Structure 1
Amino acid sequence: MPRTRIHNLSISLDGFATGEGLGLETPFGHAGERLHEWMVATSFGAPIVGRTGGSTGVDDALARQHEPGIGAEIMGSGKFGPPGWEDDPDWRGWWGPEPPFRTPTFVLTHRPRPPLEMAGGTTFHFLDASPADALAVALEAVGGLDVRIGGGPLVARAFIAAGLVDHVHLVQVPIVLGRGVRLWDGLEGMEARYAVEAVTSPSGVTHLTFSR
């Protein structure tokens, strides 16, 4: 059966998955790139920021689990663009003409627009739907593969709270943000529904895997 998965979702020690003050020039607010430095230092993540090389240790091995077996992604409007992108009919996402998803990608927004077909196999579909309804639509598109919940934290939290996620890979980064959007709010007792594993890395991050 297809599974629903979250991968490489970075959080601070105090549970924030993004900072405060999101904008076109600050996609992660005051957090900057600090939540994701561990990933772009790997050979998996380096090409995302136009680099070559990168580490091949535990961080790289776990980051690479993001790709195999995925047939569709669901993301929130805040991952697709900065606040106010719905008012720009020409906004096509952060990723240029060839986004990295290469699957049907469903963007949750209260202001749907026609599908947007991009180079490389990504087509963005814009849905005004509950988590359960969005997942049902995505499952029709995956052809037996898995669905990835791509974030941001509000979307990840909503799908976890609704009991719709089978596998969650979080990366706890040793920074304190103090403000932003927290993942954990409302998820009390989440650990009771999953087998939990923790793997520490020489980079200083801790990989937390929740498997149903």
Structure 2
Amino acid sequence: MSRVRVQNFSISLDGFGTGEGQSRDAHFGHAGDRLHEWMFATRSWDQGGSSGVDDLFVQQFESGIGAEIMGAGKFGHPGWHEDPDWKGAWGPNPPFHTPVFVLTHHTRPSIEMEGGTTFHFLDASPAEALKTAREAAGDRDIRLGGGATMIREFVVAGLVDHMHVVVVPILLGRGVRLWDGLEGIEKDYRVEATSSSSGVTHVTFTRNGA
């Protein structure tokens, strides 16, 4: 069976996966781009970038992925559902290139984008959303794109097989935290950490027995 993966999810030292004050022009709130600068500096993102361990992890973003599930807060700023023209923050050719299932209480017709991405909008539980995504992905893996609240819900439901979290050496102080309510998660996963010269630490969680 296909695996459920979290790939390249960045958090601050104090555990925040996004900052406070998300808006149309500030997708990650007051965090800005600081959680993702490590990624932008890689060769996979920029031809003149680094080819080290960060780049190796970035390369795994699309590998074996057949569909993505993301939360409403990743798809757009608070209130995006009131804008019928909102198609996400990634322009006409989003970086997913698969079916993407957006979990939201405000469903709307699917949106087909360039490059193979089609956004579908579901009001569903984690288990229900995963069943739908698996039907679309076939034998390929399902990526959980975030945000932090949605990832927590899938972890609590016991649905995450592999999780790659990037700890970025900044303090945000406020926003949406990843780890709240996940005490003892290490009992269910093999945990490995890899430090990078960029200053970030890649922490991987692989479900025991997976």
TM tier relative to shorter chain? over 0.9
For the Cα contact (< 8 Å) 2:194–2:202, is it kept in 1?
yes
Deviations 1:14-35 (A, max 9, x none): 1111111100111111111111
Q: What is aligned with 2:112?
A: 117
Aligned mates of 2:126, 2:140 — CA distance in 1: 18
Which one-letter code corresponds to 2:112 in the other structure? E
Mapped pair 1:53 → 2:44: no
Deviations 1:64-123 (A, max 9, x none): 111110000000111111111100111111111111111110001101001111111111
Aligned mates of 2:114, 2:200 — CA distance in 1: 34
Mapped pair 1:70 → 2:65: yes
Which structure has greater helix proportion? 1
Aligned mates of 1:35, 1:96 — CA distance in 2: 20
Deviations 1:142-195 (A, max 9, x none): 111000000111111111111100000000011111111000001011011000
Q: What is aligned with 2:5?
A: 5
Percent identity, aligned pairs only, is 67
Mapped pair 1:135 → 2:109: no
For the Cα contact (< 8 Å) 2:70–2:100, is it kept in 1?
yes
Q: What is aligned with 1:14?
A: 14
| Aligned-partner SS, 2:59 | helix
Which one-letter code corresponds to 2:41 in the other structure? A
Q: How many residues align?
A: 207
| Aligned-partner SS, 2:133 | helix
| Aligned-partner SS, 1:169 | strand
Q: What is aligned with 1:186?
A: 181
Mapped pair 1:33 → 2:25: no
| Aligned-partner SS, 1:60 | helix
Which one-letter code corresponds to 2:115 in the other structure? G
Q: What is aligned with 1:49?
A: none
Runs (5+) with no aligned partner, structure 2? none
Mapped pair 1:96 → 2:96: no
Q: What is aligned with 1:210?
A: 205
Aligned mates of 1:72, 1:114 — CA distance in 2: 18
> 1:45: Cα distance to partner?
2.7
Aligned mates of 1:98, 1:180 — CA distance in 2: 28
Deviations 1:187-209 (A, max 9, x none): 01101100000000001110000
Which one-letter code corresponds to 2:99 in the other structure? P
